[in-house]
Structure 1
Amino acid sequence: MKRLFDLVLALCAAVILLLPLMVVALAVRLTSPGPVLYWSDRVGKGNRIFKMPKFRSMRMGTPAVATHLLEDPKAYLTPIGSFLRKSSLDELPQLWSIIRGDMSFVGPRPALFNQHDLIALRTQYGVDKLLPGLTGWAQVNGRDELPVFQKVQLDTEYVRRQSLFFDMKIIGLTFYRVIRRDSITH
């Protein structure tokens, strides 16, 4: 049921957002050299690595680490990178990952391949058995500001509480947080 929900919603969103996707792609292309999309190695269900697309908000050559680990993250942003991140428009290409079945709309955010502490804790608590999500319970409860252990606690709570109703609540909270730009850095 969840897969069907994800597929239908992702296909509808892709059609509705086709024009904004094209505008953002053009803006990325015109404001910085390099590809429009950045394909990040992420950890999916069962700790399998998959390629997750995002609109490129960082300059070419930026180290492949979580943004908060960069010494001066703002120095790596493209001219429109900050806007893309604050508006979460950089996340829209992940609709492709949902359509492919690598991700779901709701689940724990996919860890970077080198976030070993996060991956280990998620494995320990069984969170690795879920498809990662475009948004998740940890995302709407702190996003970038949460320490790793607290993220995993929220992910574990999601494992226990997951349902279509809970997913709809998280999607609604996500829209609310994105509009308010809550807990979004850089």
Structure 2
Amino acid sequence: MVRVFNHWFSPRKAVYFLAEETVLVVALLAGASLGPVAAQASGAAAPVMPAILRAGLASLFFAGALYLGDLYDLHAAVRDRADGRRLLRALGVAVIALGVADLALQLVLPGWMLHRSLVLAAAGGALGVIAARVLMPAVVGAPTRVLFLGVGPRARDLARAVEREADGLWEVVGFVPSEGSRTIPVVAPELLRTGAIGEIARGVRAQVIVVAMEDRREGLPVDALLALRTGGHRVVDDVGFAEAALQRIPLSLVRPSALIFDEGFRVSRATRTGKRTLDLLVSAAGLLVGVPVMALVAAAIWLSDGRPILYSQERTGRAGTAYRIWKFRTMRRDAEQLGAAWATDRDPRVLPVGRFLRKARLDELPQLWNVLRGDMSFVGPRPERGVFLSELKGRWPLFALRELVKPGITGWAQLRYGYGSTMEEQAKKLEYDLYYIKNASLFLDLVCLLATAKVVLLGKGAR
């Protein structure tokens, strides 16, 4: 894993997707070149630069369709290799979008898109994507082999999470008890290794050694780990490995005292200024452009369930400051007559029109005013209600760290985990919030905004 602008990426995934885009552009060029060349009576060669620009533009449609189909998730891509239905749907969407774009561009730049080569270009692009997907295992390579120093719940639970969530990029090859360890092994017997950590690491060809001991006072083999480290192996602690591989910080692993010495959890003044500038520009533009949509939404709510149109509620923002959040009302007027409660799947309190508004995220539009005022940002932890905060902070003291940044309309936790309607789910979301707060940057915000666009288009995760 490599860190890019405070965000962890897999270099192998990046290399694969770069290779796929290269193959795609070449395939589009090859397909498109067959049409114009055959049709030219004069025999003159077609200009090169316009052809490259056309291929680059077309490749964006294919890449966008693959992204919307979750085919840049290696787990989904590998599962789809068996029948290819997800890939075929994405290719169909790309070809249709390319055709629509061709017709639209014809009105703006007549003659720039070559209709005679459109079908051949689309065919070339589709074949290029299929070829790149067939070659995926060869490009991505074998999973990185991971050896855990530790045989307790910390090591076992982290290993399970990595194998389940980390795109199949890691392979657990064993667990080694530390010298003098009194921890009862809770790992699979066939993966339990006994002996010197150095010999075992070389024997199982481990590339990464993760220190996941329950208590390092039981005997951390410092000399052996140092020898492995200087010998070319990566030696990392369990929290750092989880952060890079899972892109969250598991509460079961983190020791609050260790955060005192952590380099993260500090948002620079430049980042704050950049975020605020982006918030002001986008919220102002969104409010101006969104007026007609908001008028239609207000009319739909009024016709469905009368007034009030808007829903106001007190939330807690940065530094624990209280503010009022505004949304379009999507629930019945008596939704909380029995007290405050999180929304659930198929919540009976939600109005029929409210289900559509929630799915399309249109109920969030009035929050643009909160962003413009400075109460919120576009990206940040979900703003929480004060009625739940005291219990959440009591059970998980690290919940207070969410107040280091402004709450957001969208955020890393909302995108990676979704909606949390129980205390346990709130704890899981906190793990993603901690990752975002520790690594906050404009780049990570842009990643979140891109993922949010996909969620809105596909209507995922609404309740």
Q: Partners in 1 of 2:287 and 2:441 — Cα distance?
A: 24
In structure 2, the CA distance between the partners of 1:78 and 1:124, relative to structure 1 (3 Å rule), is: closer
Q: Partners in 2 of 1:20 and 1:34 — Cα distance?
A: 18
1:106-125 alignment runs, 5 A limit = 106-116=379-389, 117-119=391-393, 121=396, 124=399
Q: Give SS of 1:115's match.
A: helix
Question: What is the Cα deviation at residue 73 of structure 1?
Answer: 2.1
Alignment-derived partner of residue 324 in structure 2: 51
Residue 39 (str. 1) matches residue 312 (str. 2): yes
Q: Which runs of 5+ in 2 are unaligned?
A: 1-273
Q: Which runs of 5+ in 1 are unaligned?
A: none
Which stretch shifts more, 123-132 or 78-87?
123-132
**TM-score scaled by length of structure 2:** 0.38
Alignment-derived partner of residue 65 in structure 1: 341
Q: Give the RMSD, CA atoms, in angstroms.
A: 1.9
Alignment-derived partner of residue 174 in structure 1: 452
Residue 29 (str. 1) matches residue 302 (str. 2): yes
Matching residue's letter, 1:66: W
1:132 equivalent among 407, 410, 420: 407
Q: Give SS of 2:352's match.
A: coil
Mapped contact 2:420–2:429 kept (Cα < 8 A): no
Mapped contact 1:125–1:156 kept (Cα < 8 A): no
Matching residue's letter, 2:409: L
Mapped contact 2:404–2:437 kept (Cα < 8 A): no
2:436 equivalent among 141, 158, 162: 158
Q: Partners in 1 of 2:356 and 2:319 — Cα distance?
A: 33
Matching residue's letter, 1:73: D
1:83-109 Cα distance to aligned partner (Å, 9 max, x none): 111111111110010011100000001
Residue 17 (str. 1) matches residue 290 (str. 2): yes
Residue 83 (str. 1) matches residue 356 (str. 2): yes
Alignment-derived partner of residue 100 in structure 1: 373
**TM-score scaled by length of structure 1:** 0.90
Mapped contact 2:379–2:409 kept (Cα < 8 A): yes
- Over 6 Å off, 4+ runs: none
Alignment-derived partner of residue 242 in structure 2: none
Matching residue's letter, 1:150: K
Q: Partners in 1 of 2:399 and 2:383 — Cα distance?
A: 16
Q: Which is bigger in relative contact order (C-alpha 8 A, separation at least 6)? A: 1
Q: Give SS of 1:40's match.
A: strand
Aligned length: 182
Q: Partners in 1 of 2:399 and 2:326 — Cα distance?
A: 27
Matching residue's letter, 1:57: T
Q: Give SS of 2:327's match.
A: strand
In structure 2, the CA distance between the partners of 1:85 and 1:61, relative to structure 1 (3 Å rule), is: same
Question: What is the Cα deviation at residue 124 of structure 1?
Answer: 4.6
